[in-house]
Structure 1
């Protein structure tokens, strides 16, 4: 039995189970590389694949799913509506385009990619309607700060089930995590490994030695023990496998506190409060 089949789903607000570890495909721009990566991940035991319309690789994700031979119902597929497609009608159209590109009948999760001021409320209404029609199993947002969530919750009929944000030990997002918890909203981390920016850290090196694991595995385990869903990106089969091998060890409270101490509010991606939409 592979690691990913062991107690590895989070139960979202509507009861849908989402794998705690998925494969991110951000900036995978070569068709063969992406198809190989997704097929390898599925073979290893991954069931969650995260893409977005702006990544330009939805068609290849769909092709990889078909080539894998796995039943669609076993997979959890995420995509996102891009900023230029926000607003009610535009978001509906963008969703249908994504679905067509992937050759799928539904998505498991659809996210608003960034909180475009003046548009995300109407975009959310489109997602709610698609959800009610059964075209999406769960709906959520990405890169939303507390103020964006507060604003959205004033008019939302359905609360976001996920907020996918940049999150790693150097950007622990503790306030945002606490806010999300109040509304039964799961946090999903993009750049959970800080795009490789943690691999020279001395504290993490020592913890990796202590547990006989890689730094990546230590950091991903920290996420899981904080109830954070992760989508580490890799195209190398051995790394994809390593990133899933997280369920046979546990970090102690002291280990967790050491990693917590690394937080310095440091971003590797854009700041949602100062993003050029």
Structure 2
């Protein structure tokens, strides 16, 4: 069982089930486009050690250029990327991985994920990535948007346990069944969209707690994720927000306010897609 680890700084880490050490906090770069290198470089120079990108984001090259621009060593930065499942299966995933490495200007990616249980070839692609990991192209292998049924299917097929499952997590979307299953089976939970894409930033409950704590609504949402022990990757395209997004370690949300925030999940709401309910057939995990 995975114990809940709460980040206490930008350098806090967790040891994954394959022994790889991963930062607990980082930068998400979804829809960070033209200024991606500048934002990534600025984040790294402010102490961020984890960058989360994906094939679908079309900015892996921006991440690679940002790391180069930062002047930091490649091995000091933990990069996460993801393959967008397609009908190409094994050939597609290896082609995409090789393109990812070229874009990142790196011989390896620290954590590589299947982006979602779809495309009808996830098992085939996952097997190919297991081989890529043996070749050193991937340090750790995980999944994203996998529900409990998909995680159980991987186990039933005799495939290696994923090290991480990245899912949408914020007070209105808590996915407790998936979180509990992952923790029971030593799969680290990584949450995306901790800010709910900004769609709830004016929420009165969040605002009230923020005022009480003399913090911003964004900091309250990020701290909620950190305090639940999720790997947290707030996205920003503005360098000016990097520091405030990371100002979440030397204070905490009181228990009574955490209960109020947790209660928001009683009426689940998603800020994005939710493929965690896709069929095993659609995923190619039968």
With the shorter chain as reference, the TM-score category is over 0.9
Tell me if structure 1 keeps the 8 A contact 2:10–2:26. no
- Where in structure 2 are the equivalents of 1:103-252 lying within 5 Å? 103-116=105-118, 118-252=120-254
**Shift of residue 45 of structure 1?**
0.7
Aligned with 2:26 (options 18, 22, 27): 22
Unaligned runs of 5+ in 1: none
**Shift of residue 3 of structure 1?**
4.3
TM-score of the two chains, using structure 2 as the length reference: 0.90
Equivalent residue for 1:265? 268
Tell me if structure 2 keeps the 8 A contact 1:47–1:75. yes
Equivalent residue for 1:4? 10
Aligned with 2:52 (options 28, 31, 50): 50
Once residues 164 and 85 of structure 1 are traced to their aligned partners in structure 2, the CA distance between those partners, rounded to angstroms, is 22
User: Would you identify which runs of 4 or more consecutive aligned residues in structure 1 move more than 4 Å?
Assistant: 274-277
Once residues 158 and 245 of structure 2 are traced to their aligned partners in structure 1, the CA distance between those partners, rounded to angstroms, is 35
Tell me if structure 2 keeps the 8 A contact 1:85–1:91. no
Tell me if structure 1 keeps the 8 A contact 2:80–2:111. yes
Once residues 251 and 58 of structure 1 are traced to their aligned partners in structure 2, the CA distance between those partners, rounded to angstroms, is 35
**Shift of residue 29 of structure 1?**
2.4
Once residues 181 and 219 of structure 2 are traced to their aligned partners in structure 1, the CA distance between those partners, rounded to angstroms, is 27
Unaligned runs of 5+ in 2: 1-7
Higher mean C-alpha displacement, 46-55 vs 153-162: 153-162
Once residues 262 and 255 of structure 2 are traced to their aligned partners in structure 1, the CA distance between those partners, rounded to angstroms, is 10
**Shift of residue 238 of structure 1?**
2.0
**Shift of residue 86 of structure 1?**
5.2
Once residues 187 and 86 of structure 1 are traced to their aligned partners in structure 2, the CA distance between those partners, rounded to angstroms, is 28
**Secondary structure of 1:10's aligned partner:** strand
Once residues 118 and 156 of structure 1 are traced to their aligned partners in structure 2, the CA distance between those partners, rounded to angstroms, is 18
**Shift of residue 274 of structure 1?**
5.8
Instruction: Count residues with an aligned counterpart.
Output: 272
**Secondary structure of 1:192's aligned partner:** coil
Task: Write out per-residue CA displacement over residues 157-210 of structure 1, whole angstroms, 9 at most, x where no aligned residue.
Answer: 320111111111000111110011111111111111100122112221121122
